[in-house]
Amino acid sequence: MNPGKSGVKEMIAALDVQPHVEGGYFRRTFQADERAMLQTTNGPRYLMTAIYYLLTEDSPVGQFHFNQSDILHFFHLGDPIEYNMIHADGSLQTLIMGNDVLAGQHLQMHVPGGIWKASRLLDGEHGFGLISEAVSPGFDFADMQMGDRKKLTAQFSQHRTLIEKLTRDDD
Ligand code: GUN
């Protein structure tokens, strides 16, 4: 059923995903537009939004970024994806989403708002990894901040090597 590495382009086309600013590909699949908006300190937001998020060999990294909202992640298909989260107190949490539950991989992951998160496709037979994300309050670009390498390494110098690997070199 999995299309194999030669099928990555077909996967992108079948899911109708577009390049995401953080890396990888996405498409919004749901927004709660039948319900009242939530009033947040940043303005009105959907109660919930959802996306497909796809990492591929050609775009294997979701760069460090910061979200205000809580995000539930659900692994679907393909190769495992490593997640690195830096919490406000500087602690680092690393876990792997994938379907090898017996090896400790996660099918579901909850990331609360207020955390720096990056994702990275691990080597495997497929050349892609596909998850979904459900975001509440709903996603808005105004609530998302891309990681600036200089600022993040200054703030979390103990994680310099990781941050340099998972941010863009804008110099
Ligand atoms: N990340 C999580 N949800 C979304 C979304 O709806 N749009 C974009 N661009 N990124 C997201």
pLDDT at 111: 98
Across the chain, which has 171 residues, the per-10-residue mean pLDDT values are 73 98 98 97 97 98 98 98 98 98 98 98 97 98 97 98 94 67
Q: For residue 112, tell me if it sits in a domain.
A: yes
Residue 154 lies in a domain: yes
Residue 170 lies in a domain: no
The answer to the question of residue 171 being in a domain is no
Ligand 1 in reach of 135 Cβ (< 6 A): yes
Count of domains in the chain?
Answer: 1
In-domain check, residue 48: yes
Atom of ligand 1 nearest to the CA of 20: 9
State the distance from the centre of ligand 1 to the C-alpha of 139, rounded, in angstroms: 5
Domain-located, residue 159: yes
With respect to residue 71, please indicate whether it lies within any of the assigned structural domains: yes
CA atoms within 13 A on the CB side of 110: 3
pLDDT of residue 1: 45
Domain of 73, CATH number, reads 2.60.120.10
Predicted pLDDT at 171: 67
Structural domain including 132 reads 5-165
> What is the helix (H) or strand (E) element at residue 146, kind and residue range?
strand 144-146
- Which H or E run contains 10? helix 8-15
Q: Check if 51 has its Cβ closer than 6 Å to any atom of ligand 1.
A: yes
Residue 72 confidence (pLDDT): 98
pLDDT given at position 170: 80
Domain assignment present for residue 120? The answer is: yes
Reduced to 3 states, what is the DSSP secondary structure of residue 95? strand
pTM: 0.95
